Structure 1
């Protein structure tokens, strides 16, 4: 089965849906508002926001409210920049994800979404039109030189496929870990280089002169891809799966052949790929940490390992469940798996919460 069928997040608005379990992603997005505003101001000052109609895209939008928050934030920011202009711009805002994404729920949400300033469905009255755009962002999505502003958050660590040649070489691991053989590490890094280079080439063909692209990528601080800051969470999931194998609940061969198609790069890797591909020049790079259990609604409460363990497990489940069910089949009991995983994560956070953070790289590129 192709990854298009297995990578989409959990649909709908139920208790395991991505829409209700993407608080971490929301925190990442909110931490970049000032940086996005600065990018838009730079575009304005250089004449990049002088057209009458702007084409903008959220690449990897998923199906929850996060993408709609971004739409309204960008529209309001541009309207503020142009408030002294004589004309009113119009916007085409494209919501892009794989064809199997739950676009129906996303556009139902549009009708009821309010970001505290304006209901999204009312933006059409001021010239904003929102469209669905199914397709892989590792392919062309727009005609040449028509895209003004591209944005992607929490998506570009996903690969287009599991690196070729892994088979069962990674054994009880499901991602890169300290015990992964060198050929596994190299295969992941090479796949990421190919994918990001393709992504950049596609966007380079699509963007207008003076266009900008903002990427927020989950990555790592250190050059060593086996560093625990990125591998720990998936290593704990692998240990949970192994526990179920030992208890006869899953097949060992299924675990040995399971590898997650993600790669979390360091800044230097991304820099090298950008410069080598050549379509864009880097204007700004900012790196910041975000805790695994980041959640605006509970961050002010005292730490509770059970609550934090469930927050992390529910977030991971929201995007991993389709992949797990596709690979392990009917034997996969996700309720049981993520109950066990939540307990394991909670215990880890109770001992090392200060170190349990993702590293987020914010990149601002100019065509």
Structure 2
């Protein structure tokens, strides 16, 4: 909770400047968000509607889903000649998130709402809720719609047992599951994800009203092999760090003992945990392939480059690297990601790289668990 956060501010290495891929992921889930919100409103429009965006981070994406959700609710009310409900918006992320960046944009956000929606639009109350979504965050039965994008592939912690006292690290020289990692490493990651995802579902079940909807988008995989697909990003970063360790620029033992708190599950793993936890019915569960070769900026498409990928990865993992390696790594951070960019360029010149996105739409059943 104290280590994982995206790079703050609005500088060249900030998450705000390097979150185009996350914006694309949000756009993939847009039709499922609309369907889920309309599903919430299909029988009745409540006086007060609770919406939460979990793992909202900061920057231009932080309010985009909320704005979209408000537009859907308002349009539905106009069609029904009904007054809009009060909308309670909760923006959640870990306490170390750059909430100040979000709050500074709220006056303009509220101003635009008043202009766009007019006199028939009731108040929208926006709150920041710091804390881990792997536990309770909100009062019981207070939420109607929950959204989370590009967040649930981050684990609550590094899987235990990967670095035993007195023995060599089980995943020596690797930052994540690799094709050369022992089978027990992949099993430890899978088990940690199962525990975390079950806690996430149980917590949301207690906080949501019956028939409330939830749309989750996260990195996933099609293959049964957890070292496939987007794992190559971690593989290349480990190679860049090991090359620097061979020159004495970073400690090799620190590279060996670093394990990313990340896991990209398969659709079958997601389905299994949702079924086992039992609080939600699956309305939709699908995986999408998102090519690394191009990314969208409006109507323009610009070829992906190693530099662009390196900036995106740095904006996400720099805080973890600094925490693990110590402040000294900041001196060589630019050099690390320069080398990483070159490795990514070389990889992209020979491979069709891709991300697999898992999109899950859920409906809260009756009788939530008490947490």
* Aligned residue in 1 for 2:246: 246
* Aligned residue in 2 for 1:25: 22
* 1:322 has 2:319 as partner: yes
* Aligned residue in 2 for 1:272: 272
Contact 1:157 1:218 (8 Å CA) reproduced: yes
1:180 positional shift: 0.6
Tell me the distance in 2 between the aligned counterparts of 1:121 and 1:65: 20
1:88 positional shift: 2.3
* 1:34 has 2:37 as partner: no
Contact 2:54 2:133 (8 Å CA) reproduced: yes
Contact 2:50 2:87 (8 Å CA) reproduced: yes
Q: 1:10 aligns with which of 7, 10, 13?
A: 7
Q: Which runs of 4+ in 1 moved over 3 A?
A: 111-114, 120-126, 292-295, 298-303
* Aligned residue in 1 for 2:348: 349
TM-score by length of 1: 0.92
- In structure 2, runs of 5+ residues without a counterpart are 164-168, 365-371
1:308 positional shift: 1.3
Give the aligned CA root-mean-square deviation in angstroms.
1.9
Contact 2:40 2:213 (8 Å CA) reproduced: yes
* Aligned residue in 1 for 2:287: 287
Tell me the distance in 2 between the aligned counterparts of 1:120 and 1:349: 42
1:363 positional shift: 0.5
1:86 positional shift: 2.9
Tell me the distance in 1 between the aligned counterparts of 2:92 and 2:293: 27
* Aligned residue in 1 for 2:367: none
Tell me the distance in 2 between the aligned counterparts of 1:175 and 1:156: 16
Contact 1:55 1:148 (8 Å CA) reproduced: yes
1:230 positional shift: 2.6
* Aligned residue in 2 for 1:340: 339
1:89 positional shift: 1.1
SS at match of 1:315: helix
* Aligned residue in 2 for 1:86: 82
Change (3 A) 1:193 1:138: same
* Aligned residue in 1 for 2:61: 66
* Aligned residue in 2 for 1:134: 130
Moved more, 242-251 or 282-291: 282-291
The Cα offsets for residues 235-290 of structure 1, whole Å up to 9 and x where unpaired, read as 00110111101111011110110000000000000000000010111011232112
* 1:57 has 2:52 as partner: yes
* 1:362 has 2:363 as partner: no
* Aligned residue in 2 for 1:222: 223
The Cα offsets for residues 87-141 of structure 1, whole Å up to 9 and x where unpaired, read as 2211010000001111001111233459xxx735867974211110001000101
SS at match of 2:62: helix
Tell me the distance in 1 between the aligned counterparts of 2:114 and 2:156: 33
Moved more, 257-266 or 334-343: 334-343
1:302 positional shift: 6.0
Tell me the distance in 2 between the aligned counterparts of 1:199 and 1:139: 6
TM-score by length of 2: 0.91
Tell me the distance in 1 between the aligned counterparts of 2:21 and 2:227: 23
Q: 1:75 aligns with which of 67, 70, 75?
A: 70
Q: 2:151 aligns with which of 155, 163, 173?
A: 155
SS at match of 2:210: strand
Moved more, 137-146 or 34-43: 34-43
Tell me the distance in 2 between the aligned counterparts of 1:298 and 1:240: 33
Contact 1:150 1:214 (8 Å CA) reproduced: yes
Tell me the distance in 1 between the aligned counterparts of 2:128 and 2:25: 23
